Chain A
Amino acid sequence: MAGEQSSRVRLAARPLAAFLVVSAIVFTLAQLHVFRPGVPKAAAGAAIELGDGYRGETIFGQTCAGCHGAGGAGGGIGPRLVDDPISLARVKAQIATGGGAMPPALVTGQKEKDVLAYVATLIAAPAGGASTTP
């Protein structure tokens, strides 16, 4: 009787333990998310308002990638943005006023904030991030 009960407990304990251990590992890794792309790289101490980088990535793909390349990796007529030492304030100004082959105000309002949030994860901020202030 007692043996049967203990084997039942053991039967239930194994999958429960596997569930808890694996879930705990995934949860812990998600909390650490060690490969996060900076908070965002160029936005440390920034006064520029940033939107949703997720949406920004999509808007970037539709509006900006034609010139700056997919993921800002370059390849079009626009400069490569990945690891570009440009400041976020300069990016914001470039979006607003345009310049070169880039027309002004390609994205505005919330879309601009979203794109800035995404671009901030691509560019390399100058040391200290002071230039991110508008």
Chain B
Amino acid sequence: MGDRDPSTGEAPVLANVSSTYTEIVTIVFSSTIAAKSWLATVAVVLAVLQVLTAARIYGRLKRFIPLPYRVVARTHRYSGRLALLFTLPVIFHCVFILGFQTTTTRTLVHSIAGSFVYGVFAAKVIFIRSRAYPGWVLPVAGGTLFATLSTLWLTSAYWYFTQVRFGF
């Protein structure tokens, strides 16, 4: 392939991906972690919207969300897709650049939840696409996905905003 960096033994292209990612992200944000924190926050806000619209779809919160079923269902679908999109740069940095870390309880919990989140999402997609499952399965899967995403946010963005810095 190519020459390896004599100091690290790594192919330069691999290290360059990390620097390129940092260069792109710092056009808007002060650091990669600030970028991830804000992107994850947007994803969690959309996930809250998911829970609210899902509750409305199941006949709850009619007083608080007085919108027609079609609008709510469409909002639910698109907010879900958008939330998934916002998680992609975050998962790229977490999985491909940082990796599974066990240095503190926070990073361990974050790494475990991060490994599961797309698995839960994949299972939920199967539940959505099939009518063969009992009615309680989809809300449980959605709730599990929301809980996993919230755990990820609490162990990263919330930690960053409260313990390190609140800002872009």
Q: Say whether A and B bind each other.
A: yes
Interface residues of A (CB under 8 A from B): 11, 14-16, 18-23, 26-27, 29-39, 41-42, 44, 54-55, 57-58, 60-62, 65, 70-71, 73, 82-83, 121-122, 125-129
Q: Across the interface, do B95 and A14 meet the contact criterion of CB distance under 8 Å?
A: no
- The stretch that binds A, out of B7-15, B51-59, B60-68, is B7-15
- Measured CA separation A67–B96 after assembly (Å): 29
Q: Which of A27, A61, A73, A122 contacts B31 (CB 8 A)?
A: A61
Q: Can you give 12 contacting A-B residue pairs, CB < 8 Å? A: A11-B133, A15-B141, A30-B99, A54-B164, A58-B165, A62-B165, A71-B23, A71-B31, A73-B26, A121-B18, A128-B6, A128-B7
A18-B119, A35-B14, A70-B26 are known contacts; what are 11 more A-B pairs with Cβ within 8 Å? Answer: A20-B119, A26-B119, A34-B14, A35-B18, A37-B15, A44-B8, A58-B31, A58-B165, A61-B31, A71-B19, A125-B7
Interface residues of B (CB under 8 A from A): 5-8, 10, 14-15, 17-19, 21-23, 26-27, 30-34, 91, 94-100, 111, 114-123, 125-127, 130, 132-133, 141, 164-165
Q: Across the interface, do A22 and B119 meet the contact criterion of CB distance under 8 Å?
A: yes
Q: Across the interface, do A61 and B30 meet the contact criterion of CB distance under 8 Å?
A: yes
Chain B interface main SS type: helix
The A-B contact count (CB < 8 A) is 131
- Measured CA separation A36–B22 after assembly (Å): 12
Q: Across the interface, do A27 and B96 meet the contact criterion of CB distance under 8 Å?
A: no
Q: Which of B8, B26, B27, B117 contacts A39 (CB 8 A)?
A: B8
- Measured CA separation A129–B133 after assembly (Å): 59
- Measured CA separation A129–B9 after assembly (Å): 11
